[in-house]
Amino acid sequence: MENYIIWLLPLPPLLSFFLIILFTNKNKKISHSIAIGAAGLSWLGSMAVFICALGVKEFGKHVYGSAINWLPTGTTWFKIGVMIDPLSAAVVFFVAWTVLAIFIYSVGYHNFGQPKGDHDIAGLPPHGATITDQHGHQHTVPSIEPMYSRFFAFISLFAFGMYTLVVSDNLLTLFVGWEIMGLCSYLLIGFWFGKPSARNAAVKAFMTTRIGDVFMLLGIAFIYSFTGSLSFRDIFKPGMLQALASTPAFFGLSAAGIIGLLLFIGTVGKSAQWPLHVWLPDAMEGPTPVSAMIHAATMVSAGVYMVIRMFPLISAGWTVGMPLNTTMGVIAFIGAFTALFAATIAVAQNDIKRVLAYSTISQLGFMIAALGIGAYVAAAFHLVTHAFFKALLFLGSGSVIHGMEHGEMHTGDHSVDPQDMFNMGGLRRRMPITFWTFLIGGFALSGFPILTAGFWSKDEIFAEAFGNGHMVVFIVLAVAAFLTAFYTMRQITLTFFGKPRTEVAEHASESKWTMTLPLIVLAVFAVGCGWVGIPEKFPVLGGILPNWFHEFVGSTLAEVPKAVTFSWTPLLTSLCVALGGLFCGWLAYRKVQSPVEDKLQIPLLKNKYYFDELYNFLFVKPAGWFSEKFAYLFMDRTVIDGILHSVARFSLFLGGFFRNKIDKPVINEFIGDGTGNVVKASGSRLRKIQAGRIQYYMVASVAFLVIFALLYYYLIGGM
């Protein structure tokens, strides 16, 4: 039974996409009802599967799944199917919740129920509508998004991609879901395509992730050519893994290592790890629910999910305590480096969403680094908790921006950037629900001790790094965690504390219930979902609740990883960096009034280490030059056009030859006119014999009769 429900999980959003696109796009209310209904159905199915999975003993050994023959490959079949094992059960859990929350949030975010804008056009954010109340006063109020239905269609398709990816039991359908999300990411980042910045961001996101995808596809092709199967269950058979690990490939790496690296490059693109991180901050051009959905809760998580999924392959031949193999080393390095690198950039950003974007990159780096050092469960744990609190933070920031825009409409001052944190301040009184939920999300992100989910997952990463002796990773992540706490508090302080810095912030207002309800739900998870993974040896709290998450997700692996032995050092580090970072952030920014007073506005950090400029110089400009000078001017204009022109000229010559030398003299004059002339001439000659005199005819008849008679007689009859 559960085996077949899994097939149905991705379907409602897909259906919703087609229904909205084909039929209901004119009606905003029906469109969002269909989309939310579909998300609700998927949510219901996911919860059913998840709860059933909880009831199965040793679920990792008895996973749900079914597969069908799909493509005949000679005498065998290529199978596709679905599977829910402990890891995907955990992922589908947070996907279902965040997707549903974001769908509901989008209704409020896109101003459903508000009048149409005065001069809104499709492709640009709504500008607001003017209404007159019963006293004759004119007010500017938010106006509904012109492409409301289209938005719900796209995020439905997006949800379909994510569900497909999670329930897949093979790399092929996983890749299909992966690419659908890539497409939706492009469509949604460029949702307001009237803005050049949004267009560029969409193209940038698509191109950058494509680089990773190409390598990932290579990895998939390699794995298929080696094993003849893409199904996880086939690949992860011990014998197969051993064969992969012991077959040497290139560069001194085993086949498993190469495949792992190629697939990991896909993750680098999708999860925005250095050096392919550049697209994610720009992706903030999309509407905020998109930022929450794509760039926090689901799509970037998909990259991490995939690499966690492939962990048995990546770590083939490696056991806990051994030195890391090359692939894992690379993964750990990229992850740790990205975690620190993105955290330093986030410190100097002023756009509320960009800070969160860099923090996402940084947190994904934590997960990747955790996986790189073999902390499988810790990586999965952080993936789940991060999805909740990052979705919460993004939706919270959207609510803040919405409140600020409301303030803008109230004051009529449109020169203030509603996303710049230095224009905010004091919003905790104006937007209490947003403030409290954002605070919870921010504390979870910082790893505020004991209470929040982020603490437990981050602590587990620290414990694993320290316990297994990966000191470099441990220290780098600790510094990154300190910076995380610091910039989170900076963000909260600048946004919510102190006094309003602009008149706009003074008139900001709390958002509607459709926006705050998802915030509250996600806040509950941002706190609560950490409690399922409290280490058993933890002082005081350990053992009150069983470390369920470790048992559950750990059982995905053939051999359940042992929980790391408890040590005070990582715990104290974790406490210090979280609390210290939060305190420093508050201390440094409680009185800052303008960017000028901010001492961390270092150009190097502010400009993101000039990576955009560097890539522009290294890749975009040469590519532009290449396409202009070589592809266009040389290849297209000279070579291709030259060939085409020569062909045309030759054809013209050939045509002329046929016309002047064949058609005109031979066909027209000789055959055409010639026949006519001969007939005419012979006719005018022959008509003379038509004298009209009967006796001439008679003579002629008799003469011919005599001639033929004689001929007959002498030639035939006479014989």
Q: Whole-number minimum distance, CB 680 to another protein, in Å?
A: 14
- The CA distance from 591 to 426, in Å, is 12
Closer residue to another protein, CB minimum distance, 625 or 697: 697
Which two structure tokens, joined as six digits, stand for 646?
A: 């020569």
Q: Does residue 562 touch another protein according to CB under 8 A?
A: no
Of 84-92, 199-207, 523-531, 696-704, which part binds another protein (CB under 8 A)?
Answer: 696-704
Q: Whole-number minimum distance, CB 707 to another protein, in Å?
A: 15
Taking CB under 8 A as the criterion, the residue among 618, 647, 666, 702 binding another protein is 702
C-beta of residue 185 within 8 angstroms of C-beta of residue 294: yes
Residue 43 burial by CB count (10 A; 0-12/13-18/19+): exposed, middle or buried? Answer: buried
C-beta of residue 99 within 8 angstroms of C-beta of residue 43: yes
Q: What is the DSSP letter of 424?
A: -
- The CA distance from 664 to 529, in Å, is 90
Of 147-155, 304-312, 454-462, 698-706, which part binds another protein (CB under 8 A)?
Answer: 698-706
Q: Whole-number minimum distance, CB 692 to another protein, in Å?
A: 3
Q: Whole-number minimum distance, CB 691 to another protein, in Å?
A: 6
Closer residue to another protein, CB minimum distance, 239 or 692: 692
**Adjacent-strand bridge partners of 351:** 420
Residue 207 burial by CB count (10 A; 0-12/13-18/19+): exposed, middle or buried? Answer: middle
The amino acid at residue 631 is A
Closer residue to another protein, CB minimum distance, 599 or 693: 693
Handedness of CA 434, 438, 441, 444 (dihedral sign): negative
Closer residue to another protein, CB minimum distance, 558 or 691: 691
C-beta of residue 107 within 8 angstroms of C-beta of residue 514: yes
C-beta of residue 307 within 8 angstroms of C-beta of residue 215: no
Which two structure tokens, joined as six digits, stand for 42?
A: 């998927």
Q: Which residues contact 708 (CB under 8 A, 6 or more apart)?
A: none
- The CA distance from 194 to 87, in Å, is 40
- The CA distance from 485 to 475, in Å, is 15
Closer residue to another protein, CB minimum distance, 633 or 698: 698
Of 339-347, 368-376, 609-617, 695-703, which part binds another protein (CB under 8 A)?
Answer: 695-703
Q: Does residue 137 touch another protein according to CB under 8 A?
A: no
Closer residue to another protein, CB minimum distance, 51 or 702: 702
Closer residue to another protein, CB minimum distance, 643 or 679: 679
Closer residue to another protein, CB minimum distance, 252 or 692: 692
Closer residue to another protein, CB minimum distance, 686 or 715: 686
Q: Whole-number minimum distance, CB 693 to another protein, in Å?
A: 5
C-beta of residue 148 within 8 angstroms of C-beta of residue 191: no
The 3-state DSSP class for residue 402 equals helix
Instruction: With CB under 8 A as the rule, give the number of residues binding another protein.
Output: 10
Please, where are the H alpha helices in 348-452?
352-372, 376-411, 427-430, 432-446
Taking CB under 8 A as the criterion, the residue among 541, 648, 698, 710 binding another protein is 698
Contacts (CB under 8 A) with another protein, residues 384-423 = none
The amino acid at residue 141 is V
Residue 655-694 contact track with another protein, rule CB under 8 A, x = bound: --------------------------------x--xxxxx
Closer residue to another protein, CB minimum distance, 639 or 698: 698
Among 180, 9, 199, residue whose Cα is nearest residue 92: 9
The amino acid at residue 294 is I
Q: Does residue 695 touch another protein according to CB under 8 A?
A: yes
Residue labelled with tokens 């609510």:
399
Q: Whole-number minimum distance, CB 700 to another protein, in Å?
A: 11
Q: Whole-number minimum distance, CB 656 to another protein, in Å?
A: 45
Q: Whole-number minimum distance, CB 714 to another protein, in Å?
A: 20
Closer residue to another protein, CB minimum distance, 544 or 703: 703
- Measured from the Cβ of residue 245, the count of other Cβ atoms closer than 10 Å reads 17
- The CA distance from 129 to 412, in Å, is 12
Of 352-360, 491-499, 664-672, 697-705, which part binds another protein (CB under 8 A)?
Answer: 697-705
Extract the runs of DSSP E, i.e. beta strands, from 4-163: 64-73, 76-84, 129-132, 138-141
Q: Whole-number minimum distance, CB 673 to another protein, in Å?
A: 24
Closer residue to another protein, CB minimum distance, 499 or 693: 693
Helix axes 86-109 and 299-309, enclosed angle (nearest 10): 180
Q: Whole-number minimum distance, CB 679 to another protein, in Å?
A: 16
Handedness of CA 9, 15, 17, 20 (dihedral sign): negative
Q: Whole-number minimum distance, CB 681 to another protein, in Å?
A: 15
Q: Whole-number minimum distance, CB 687 to another protein, in Å?
A: 5
- The CA distance from 255 to 223, in Å, is 8
Q: Whole-number minimum distance, CB 708 to another protein, in Å?
A: 16
Closer residue to another protein, CB minimum distance, 499 or 687: 687
Closer residue to another protein, CB minimum distance, 539 or 692: 692
Half-sphere exposure of 315 (CA within 13 A, CB side): 25
The amino acid at residue 615 is Y
Residue 503 burial by CB count (10 A; 0-12/13-18/19+): exposed, middle or buried? Answer: middle
Q: Whole-number minimum distance, CB 698 to another protein, in Å?
A: 6
Taking CB under 8 A as the criterion, the residue among 699, 709, 710, 711 binding another protein is 699
Q: Whole-number minimum distance, CB 704 to another protein, in Å?
A: 14
Closer residue to another protein, CB minimum distance, 1 or 694: 694
CA dihedral of residues 220, 221, 223, 229 (deg, nearest 10): 90
Q: Which residues bind another protein (CB under 8 A)?
A: 687, 690-695, 698-699, 702
